Amino acid sequence: MPEKHPPKHAANEPAGNAQEATSADESTAAVVSVDTAGGAMEPSAVPATAQSGQLPGGPDTLLRRIFTGSGMVSVLAVLLALIIGGLLIASTDERVATAAGYFLARPTDFLTAVWDAATRSYLALFQGSVFNPRGNSVAAQFAPFMETLTIATPLITAGLGVALAFRAGLFNIGAQGQIIVAGILAAWVGFALHLPLGLHLLLVLVAGIIGGAFWGGLVGLLKARTGAHEVILTIMFNYIALYFLRYLLNTPAFQRPGEANPISPILDPTAVYPQIFGTQYRLHLGFLLAIAATVVVWWLLNRSTVGFEFRAVGANPKAAQTAGINVSRSTILVMALAGGLAGMSGVAQVAGTEKVLTDGVAATYGFDAITVALLGRSTPWGTFAAGLLFGAFRAGAVQMQIQTGTPIDIVLVVQSLIVLFIAAPPLVRAIFGLNPRRRKPARAARSREAATTGGAA
Amino acid sequence: MKNSLRAGFKRGSVAGLATMGATALVLAGCGAPPEAGSGSTAGASDYTGCIVSDSGGFDDQSFNQSSYEGLKKAEADLGIKVNQVESKTNNDFEPNLRAMVTAGCDLTVTVGFLLGDATKKQAEANPDSHFAIVDFAYDPPIANVKPIIYDTAQAAFLAGYLAAGTSKTGTVATFGGMNIPTVTIFMDGYADGVKYYNEQKGKDVKLLGWNKDAQDGTFTGDFEKQDVGKQVTQNFLDQGADIVMPVAGPVGKGSGAALKDAKAAGKDVKLIWVDSDGYLTAPDYKDIMLSSVMKQMGDAVETVVKDDKEGNFDNTPYVGTLANDGVQLAPFHDLDSQVPAELKSELEQIKKDIVDGKLKVESKASPKA
């Protein structure tokens, strides 16, 4: 019996202190609250400061570089990735390999083949993602662009979730799990309940957003209350969500009657997003909601008090706390909002494109969303644009495979290269000679010379 | 300091790379160029056969790969054109399939139940195009989709009987990748084979990893993590099993690795492969490969393509059985001497009985006739 007491007491203590501290924050001067934070409050709020490793550090932290980097670097990164991608495509091309066999006898063949392979692939990428002049009607010609928008939809909303958390100084790896939980709830409402048109879809959307917000908010809560690191929490929450989904798909409640495959029944027609430009395109209402979400996030971050608090916490949690901002509350709220946005992606999946729940419902959108947010430099419209770009890559990858036989992995390699260059702006600046700190033009020229002579030999 | 180091490294590596590249070019680039205008391919047909994989890709050492090889074989044998597209995620199914139809495919093969909905949608939207789907059937059937399914339990029954008859320890095992019908049908047949052996011989060979009545057993959770397969197999070995049948695609290699370790430690253990003849497709484990439960997906795909090309398409499901050699027990290869002649003849007799319908092999996952 006496052994039971101390742990219980200990478990209660942080919460109690946090409450005291919260009231102290609100009622007394900032100085007092900082004193409280230094002492009694430790378990709740201070770890939030200390553990979000990227933020409080010097001017060279990763996040800061992402926020302050110029748009030029983004463009150059994409360009560089396309060039390297082109070389990779060429290296997998059969004609290039054949022509390389007699390179010395007729080098022009080799060079033409390289150029051909790369340009044909990128042309197919364009035709598969933006405009296909070979379509037999205007509708068919623009079908690729509609496909791009369709694929971009979940990327944009999940990307916004990740970006929002970035701005508050949280590295949210959990979009994948948030999409899955949202997908589970939204799909269940969609196929198990039978409701009238309008109400049903609304409920699907609400269920999805609540599911995502719950899964994200839980991470925020754990971080704010216990100081556990959000990266670890979100990664583990992804696993929990995925395996829970797999378990559910093996229960009859989530399977089709008479079948044992892990695939849910198809959602009711009343539960799915209407297709906004007719049935020949997959583009659905979710895209308009993604635009709306972008506007809301922009407003939230740039025009609202809450958004100001998020950014303040993201810039320096200690200073934010000193200024009277409730860091715990901001952490929970921003994670719940991030989860809700990711939840919209889950809804876009089950109610927009897939119309069923499988264990692949989140595809890789949760992780691609991190890339999208990074590429968009964590701004709402930047994320929107990055989502479109990635949507185009994905849509075009199909045509690239079919028309030229380029392996789909190469497309993913190009995407990954973009992220690599984005995440390391000094690398791009160094390659293009934009790095102000680098004053060794002579050496660079010499090594370039070595490369050319080597190649010619 | 930092700068000079970096520059030094860079200069060195660039020079090194350039030398290597130049050497490679000199070595590789000595061939003769082809004569102009000699590139015509003989006997090409206008018929195009296409295939869309599920997220496993065409190198999954399982049904995607077998089906793809079947189509490539049709390309070589029948001179058809082939178009293939790999799906990375479930999201790719619909666009991939639509792209195939747009690209003018006469017949599109889709692989796996996950593509069921997408195939149905495209088939209904394009009644003039033909489709074939591997490991999935529709109820009710669709006019222009031919299902290619397998009564795998029949061949797995033989494997179960073989394992029970060959086991020295009186314990055999199986495990799956995921608890889905195309996997559990192997395990059901295997379990029944063991049970039949016990009934016939009055023995009590134990089966680990699958309970047919409960429809539950040991699963690794996916078709990727070979280390989990190794772990699971190690557990079975610790419980006294000496023959293991992994039904988990590439995860089976983990099982093979664990068994090889056990064999190196002096234990007499054996592996039963699935889908293809493991003696040929997983030669690393030749010396422990007792047999394989084969699904001849390549042959079926090629036959469907051939029929369609000749204008004989129909939507009756192709059901691979022991009778039509759609499913088979592979030869024993190197371990032939370890299978008693009596057991071999019993297996022949059981096969005959199953083909004649005297012996019924039933699984919840069997194709419904």
Cβ atoms within 10 A of the Cβ of A398, count? 29
ipTM: 0.77
- The pLDDT assigned to A211 comes to 97
Distances (CA, A) of B147 to A384, B108, B324, B327: 42, 12, 16, 16
- In the DSSP assignment, the letter for residue B139 is S
Whether A429 and A328 map to the same domain: the answer is no
φ/ψ of B49, rounded to 5, equals -105, 135
As a whole number of angstroms, the distance between CA A341 and CA A174 comes to 12
Which residues of chain A lie closer than 8 angstroms to B55, CB-CB? 360
- Confirm or reject contact between B31 and chain A (CB < 8 A): yes
Q: Measure CB to CB from residue A109 to each of B33, B103, B139 and give the nearest one.
A: B33
Mutate to test the interface with A, among B90, B98, B126, B183 (most CBs of A within 10 A): B90
Interatomic CA distance for residues B68 and B52, integer angstroms: 9
Residues A107-130, mean pLDDT to the nearest whole number: 87
pLDDT at B46: 86
Between A18 and A369, the more confident residue is A369
Residue A366 belongs to a domain? yes
Q: What is the mean pLDDT of residues B158-168?
A: 96
Q: Tell me, yes or no, whether A396 and A414 share the same domain.
A: no
Higher pLDDT among residues B197 and A103, named by residue: B197
Whether B114 and A360 lie within 8 Å, measured CB to CB? yes
Nearest Cα residue to B161 out of B324, B337, B295, B291: B291
User: Cβ atoms within 10 A of the Cβ of A444, count?
Assistant: 15
A233 lies in some domain: yes
Burial environment of residue A420 by CB neighbours within 10 A (0 to 12, 13 to 18, 19 or more): middle
Phi, psi of B292, deg, nearest 5: -145, 145
Q: Residue B274 belongs to what H/E stretch?
A: strand B270-275
CA A366 to chain centre: 6
Q: Is A329 exposed, middle or buried (0-12, 13-18, 19+ CB in 10 A)?
A: middle
Which residue type, as a one-letter code, is found at position B212?
K
Any idea which of A417-421, B118-122, B188-192 has the lowest mean pLDDT? A417-421
β-partners of residue B273 are B292
Contact at CB, B364 and A250, closer than 8 angstroms: no
Residue numbers in B near A363 (CB within 8 A): 88-91
Residues of B in contact with A109 (CB under 8 A): 33
Pair (A279, A359) in one structural domain? yes
* pLDDT band for position A18 (cuts 50, 70, 90): very low
Confidence of residue A414 (pLDDT cuts 50, 70, 90): confident
Mean pLDDT confidence for B157-173? 96
Domain identity same for A188 and A289: yes
CB contact (8 A) between residue A104 and residue B29:
yes
Q: Which residues from B are below 8 Å from A260, CB to CB? A: 180-181, 184, 364-365
Instruction: Give the rounded percent of residues in chain B with a pLDDT score beyond 90.
Output: 71
- C-alpha angle with apex A154: A151 to A157, nearest 5 degrees? 135
Residue A48, in any domain of the structure? no
Q: How far apart are CA A404 and CA A407, in angstroms?
A: 9
What pLDDT is attached to residue A281?
87
State both tokens at A60. Answer: 């060279």
Chain B nearest-CA residue for A456: B22
Which of B122-126, B168-172, B222-226 shows the lowest per-residue confidence on average (mean pLDDT)?
B222-226
Q: Which amino acid, one-letter code, is at B368?
A: K
- Looking at the structure, tell me whether residues A214 and A339 fall in a common domain: yes
Residue A28 binned pLDDT confidence (cut-offs 50, 70, 90): very low
Q: Which residues of A touch B139 (CB under 8 A)?
A: 258
- Give mean pLDDT, residues B110-135: 93
Could you give the CA distance from residue B99 to residue B48 in angstroms, rounded to a whole number? 13
Distance from CA of A448 to the nearest CA of B (A): 8
Indicate the pLDDT class of residue B222, thresholds 50, 70 and 90. confident
The residue of chain A nearest to residue B18, with distances taken between CA atoms, is A454
Is B22 in Cβ contact with A457 (below 8 Å)?
yes
How confident is the model at residue A141, as a pLDDT? 87
Q: Which range has the worst mean pLDDT, A90-94, A274-278, B30-34, B260-264? A: B30-34
Do the Cβ atoms of B180 and A260 come within 8 Å?
yes
Between residues A397 and A26, the one the model is more confident about = A397
> Are A260 and A342 within one domain?
yes
Residues of chain B contacting residue A455, judged by C-beta atoms under 8 Å apart = 18, 21-22
Residues A382 and A298 in one domain: yes
- Please indicate, yes or no, if residue A348 is contained in any of the structural domains: yes
Distance from CA of A401 to the nearest CA of B (A): 6
The answer on pLDDT for B11 being more than 80 is: no
Structural element, H or E, at residue B107: strand B107-111
A323 and A423, same domain (yes or no): no
- Evaluate if residue A403 carries a pLDDT over 90: no
A75 within a domain of the structure (yes/no): yes
pLDDT at A17: 44
CA distance A108 to A92: 18
B365 touches chain A (CB under 8 A): yes
Mean pLDDT of A322-342: 95
Phi, psi of B357 (to 5 degrees): 85, 5
> Which tens digits make up the pLDDT trace of A244-286?
999 999 899 999 988 888 999 999 999 999 999 888 889 999 9
Q: Which residue has the higher pLDDT, A63 or A347?
A: A347
- Checking A63-66 for CB contacts under 8 A at 24+ apart, the result is A63/A166, A63/A169, A63/A314, A63/A378, A65/A425, A66/A166, A66/A374, A66/A377, A66/A378, A66/A422, A66/A423
Distance of CA B4 to the CA centre of its chain: 55
Please say whether the beta carbons of B79 and B44 come within 8 A.
yes
Residue B189 has a pLDDT of: 96
Q: Is the pLDDT of residue A37 over 60?
A: no
**pLDDT reported for residue B103:** 83
Q: Name the more confident of A424 and B330.
A: B330
A266:B86 CB<8 A = no
Q: pLDDT confidence of B242, banded at 50, 70, 90?
A: very high
The torsion defined by the Cα of A7, A13, A15 and A21, in degrees rounded to 10, comes to: -170
Chain A residues touching residue B2 (CB < 8 angstroms): none
CA distance B182 to chain A (A): 9
Identity of the residue in A147, A263, A358 whose CB atom sits nearest the CB atom of B95: A147
Average pLDDT value for chain A: 81
Residue A341 lies in a domain: yes
How crowded is the C-beta side of A48, counted as CA atoms within 13 Å? Answer: 33
Mean pLDDT of B350-359: 94
CA distance A87 to A80: 11
State how far the Cα of B71 lies from the Cα of B108, in Å rounded to an integer: 10
Does A76 fall in a domain? yes
The shortest CB-CB distance from A398 to any of B11, B25, B95 is to B95
Q: A277 and A252 in one domain?
A: yes
B325: alpha, beta or left? (left if phi > 0; alpha if psi -120 to 50): left
Q: Verify that A119 and A224 share a domain, yes or no.
A: no
- Tell whether A11 is covered by a domain: no
In chain A, residues with a C-beta closer than 8 Å to the C-beta of B91 are 151, 349, 353-354, 360, 363, 394
Task: For residue A21, name the pLDDT band (cuts at 50, 70, 90).
Answer: very low
Q: What is the pLDDT of residue B183?
A: 93
Structurally, chain A folds into a number of domains equal to: 2
Interface A:B, Cβ pairs < 8 A: 124
A392 contacts A148 by C-beta, under 8 angstroms: yes
> What span, in angstroms and rounded, lies between the C-alpha atoms of B169 and B138?
43
Burial A238-251 (b: 16+ CB within 10 A, else e): beebbeebbebbbe
Q: How far is B68 from chain A (nearest CA, A)?
A: 15
Rounded Cα–Cα distance for residues A262 and A360 (Å): 11
Provide the CATH number for the domain around residue A164: 1.10.3470
Q: How far apart are CA A421 and CA A438, in angstroms?
A: 18
Contact B28 A103 (CB under 8 A): yes
CA–CA distances in Å: residue B203 to residues A287, A319, B196:
64, 77, 10
pLDDT of residue A43 exceeding 50: no
A280 to chain B: nearest residue by CA? Answer: B125
pLDDT at site B16: 52
Residue-wise pLDDT for B247-304, tens only, equals 998 899 999 999 999 999 999 999 999 998 999 988 999 999 999 999 999 999 999 9
For residue B57, how many other CB atoms are within 10 A of its CB? Answer: 16
Boundaries of domain holding A417: 71-129+410-436
Q: What is the mean pLDDT of residues A32-53?
A: 36
Averaged over A10-29, what is the pLDDT? 41
Q: Tell whether B49 is within 8 A of chain A (Cβ).
A: no
Same domain, residue pair A246 and A389: yes
> A164 and A112: one domain?
no
